[in-house]
Amino acid sequence: MTRRSQDGWIWGLLPLMGLALFLNFVASPDDRVLGPSQRIFYFHMATATAAGVAFTVTAGASILYLATRNLRFDAFAAASAEIGTVFTSMLLVTGILWGRAAWGVWWTWDPRLTATVILWVVFMAYLMIRGWTESRERRARTAAVLALAAYVDVPIDYMTIRWWKSIHPVVITTHGIHMAPSMVWAMFVSMAAMLGIYAAWMQLRLRLIRVEMGLDRVKQHLKDKLEG
């Protein structure tokens, strides 16, 4: 399959993104209390979902790597962690902007905000550690164990607003979704669009990692030839 045909589906995301933007900025109403700043929420929730999925893929791929020692799973874990960290950065930025509009402060040490910052720092450390390790197998093994330790924070982060008294709103509960139906549509379509971006990004990043691995093999082959 050619690269162009492999990437063809990514263009299919454009109508979905267009629909998400339409629902976000046109079809859904302003919030009665927060006004138009409510619209930040659709990006915020969507990036949170994408980050959660990305880190879950990293944890799953890390377990599969430890079980099989197949470096393809390590590539999956690395690519997904990088993208998840970018989504967490977007999550923090949109949260800070929304917090300023809703709570009147840029930042507060609420349990949810604290857990999210920890998650961001831990996965930043994960990416740094990957860069510090020379041996591919050792890097994959160490990173897989670290990813599992870091992933502990994901369910904690999700549950903080349910376990603790938090000022962060709880939108989805066991009793339903606390929003107007048009807002619910905007939220779910935004989440689908952001997950589509995650999938497209994964495809591109995995291809780049495969190229990097191929280049490493060529370098090693040439080194072996020259040395011996």
Binding site for another protein (CB under 8 A): 66, 114, 118, 121-122, 125, 128-129, 132-133, 138-139, 141-142, 144-146, 148-150, 152-153, 156
Strands (E), 55-168: none
**Interatomic CA distance for residues 194 and 176, integer angstroms:** 22
Between the alpha carbon of residue 74 and those of residues 109, 135, 138, 190, 207, the distances in Å are: 34, 13, 11, 29, 13
- Smallest gap, in angstroms, from Cβ of residue 220 to another protein? 19
Given a contact cutoff of 8 angstroms between Cβ atoms, the answer to whether 107 and 96 are in contact is yes
CB 33 within 8 A of CB 205: no
Rounded Cα distance, 150 and 154, in Å: 8
Q: Which two tokens stand for residue 194?
A: 């952001």
Q: Distance (Å, rounded) from C-alpha 91 to C-alpha 21?
A: 17
Instruction: Using only the alpha carbons of the chain, give its radius of gyration.
Output: 20
CB of 54 vs another protein, minimal distance in Å: 18
- Measured from the CB atom, the residue of 11 and 132 that comes closer to another protein is 132
Cβ closest to another protein, residue 37 vs residue 142: 142
Complex with another protein: residue 59 or 189, whichever CB lies closer = 59
CB of residue 74 to another protein, shortest distance in Å: 12
Nearest approach in angstroms of CB 115 to another protein is 8
7 vs 137 by CB, closer to another protein: 137
Q: Which is nearer to another protein, 41 or 151 (CB)?
A: 151
1 Cβ neighbours under 8 A, 6+ residues apart: none
Residue 48 and residue 84: Cα distance in Å, rounded?
9
CB of 86 vs another protein, minimal distance in Å = 18
Amino acid at 221: H
Name the residue nearer to another protein (CB basis): 24 or 85.
85
Q: Least distance in Å: CB of 209 to another protein?
A: 19
